[in-house]
Every structure is written in structure tokens, then in C-alpha cells.
């Protein structure tokens, strides 16, 4: 949230909207698509069918579920967004890239996972927005650069 005001700005609300909607999307993708529609076993079979190990399906289901909850609640949003990104890149390169651009193509095109990857990157850059339960660490700290300390000349 903007430190110069006590109430969220329009930009703050935009970041919150991105965070919550991205979290809900990951929850729905995990629960509705993978668990309810295909089942965990069916999802594992699909992973094997595209050349991935079956156990990775279970990891993906759990991480989409946990990551979605963490995003909605605003718990370490930057880190969560970065950790969810390989799932989207895997979907892009292992499943959808050969199917063409439009997601309505047979077996789904690649624009949807590519767009979701961009949204995760935007969320990682923007941070939490207001009402985050555990605000993110700065990006520099996530990449081992630590806080900047100015020295006197």
C-alpha cells in the first residue's frame, strides 16, 4: 500500500484484484479441472501421456491448491508467484505449444498458459497489494541480494 496515504490507491486495488483473481484461478484449476473433472489418477495419466512423470501431477495439484490459497490470503505473494510459474511454463511447452495460438484449438492452444505466466511475473514484480496477511520480501532479497545499504562518502 502507498505509504503516503492511509487508504489503498487505485493501483493498490489493482494489485489486490490481480492477486486474488490469480489465486482463485489456481484454486479452480487444481480443484475443478484436475481433481473433480479428471481426478488425481486421470491427471497423472495425462502427465504420463505428454511425457512427464505421473508423480509430477500430484505435486502440481497440491502446489496449485496451496499456491492459490496463499495468493488469495496474500502470504509471500512474490515468492508464490515465482514458484507457480514453472507449472505454467510446463503446461506451455509440454502440452499447449504445438496446438497453435488459440486455446479453443483441439487440446488447447498456448495463449492461456502464456498469459497466466505473464500474470504471475507481473504479480511477482508488483508485490502483494493491500490486505496481505504476510507481505512479500523485496525481490532483491528473494534473489540473495539483501537490502541495499547506503554508505557515507
Domain residue spans of the chain: 13-142
pTM for the predicted model, two decimal places: 0.86
Q: Hunting for cell 502507498 — which residue is that?
A: 2
The pLDDT of residue 2: 47
Residue ranges in the chain modelled with pLDDT below 70:
1-5, 146-153
pLDDT tens for each residue of 12-28:
999 999 999 999 999 99
Amino acid at each position: 500500500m502507498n505509504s503516503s496515504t492511509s487508504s489503498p490507491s487505485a493501483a493498490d486495488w489493482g494489485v489486490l484484484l490481480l492477486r486474488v483473481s490469480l489465486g482463485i484461478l489456481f484454486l479452480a484449476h487444481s480443484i475443478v479441472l484436475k481433481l473433480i473433472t479428471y481426478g488425481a489418477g486421470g491427471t497423472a495419466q495425462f502427465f504420463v501421456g505428454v511425457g512427464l512423470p505421473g508423480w509430477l501431477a500430484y505435486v502440481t495439484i497440491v502446489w496449485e491448491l496451496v499456491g492459490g490459497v496463499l495468493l488469495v490470503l496474500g502470504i509471500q505473494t512474490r515468492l508464490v508467484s515465482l514458484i507457480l510459474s514453472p507449472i505454467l511454463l510446463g503446461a506451455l511447452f509440454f502440452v499447449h505449444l504445438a496446438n497453435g495460438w488459440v486455446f479453443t484449438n483441439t487440446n488447447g492452444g498456448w495463449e492461456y498458459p502464456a498469459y497466466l505466466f505473464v500474470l504471475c511475473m507481473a504479480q511477482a514484480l508488483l508485490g502483494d497489494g493491500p490486505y496481505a496477511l504476510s507481505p512479500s520480501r523485496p525481490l532483491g532479497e528473494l534473489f540473495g541480494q539483501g537490502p541495499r545499504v547506503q554508505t557515507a562518502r
